[in-house]
Amino acid sequence: MAGVAGLAFVVVFVVAQAVAGSLPQPKETGDRVISYLGEHATSLQITAALTALGVFLSVVFLVGLWDAARDGEGRPEPWSVVGLVGGAVTATLNAVQGAVFGGIALGIHATASPDLAITVYRIGFTIGGATSVFAALFLTGFTLASWKTGFLPGWVRWLGALAAVLQAIASLAIASARTEFFVTTLAAFAASLLWVVAVSIRMLRQPAPA
């Protein structure tokens, strides 16, 4: 179940990003943001709904991953708990960010001033930066737990370590609107999604407990 949820999460996440299209960067003017929201309101509402589905799938995957980690540990170890907490907060922030962008799409663009629109829009991106912090903790926790117990293959551990570093760098987007951080964010999520796919396939191939 968790492996299927992980693969489904990746598909839903990619589709949601494709539906949303190219979002304006936070440094854009309020008028530009309002114009974008007016033109893409329906797409952003669909993206918000897909985000909610993705959050549900990610929690199912997270619980299954923690269970797999505990099987290898024999008892809860600190790093798997770090991964669990990081994953839970990441899912929560994803839900909040989806609600922010969905709320903007539902009506703020029709009545808000440019200043208010860009403020709320930037809050959404700031939540995304905070999400990267906890995504890094999620990846770090389960990667280090796996290094101790070996419940994931070596190359998946290295991929998790790379994704964790990229997520940590991407979190700097909280304090900067520079394009370089958004490029790093794309790389971080690409590596993270590939890690989820690899872990999900590993979980599906493991024999069910007797």
Q: What digits encode the pLDDT tens for the residues 13-67?
A: 889 878 876 776 666 666 777 777 777 777 777 888 888 898 999 999 999 888 8
Please tell me the total count of domains within the chain. Answer: 1
Q: Is residue 167 part of a domain?
A: yes
Q: Is residue 87 part of a domain?
A: yes
| C-alpha span between 66 and 141 (Å, rounded) | 10
Q: Is residue 54 part of a domain?
A: yes
Q: What digits encode the pLDDT tens for the residues 66-119?
A: 888 877 656 667 888 889 999 999 999 888 887 777 777 666 555 556 667 677
Specify the pTM.
0.80
**Identity of the amino acid at 142:** F
| C-alpha span between 107 and 94 (Å, rounded) | 20
Q: Is residue 210 part of a domain?
A: no
Q: Is residue 117 part of a domain?
A: yes
Range of the domain at 167: 2-205
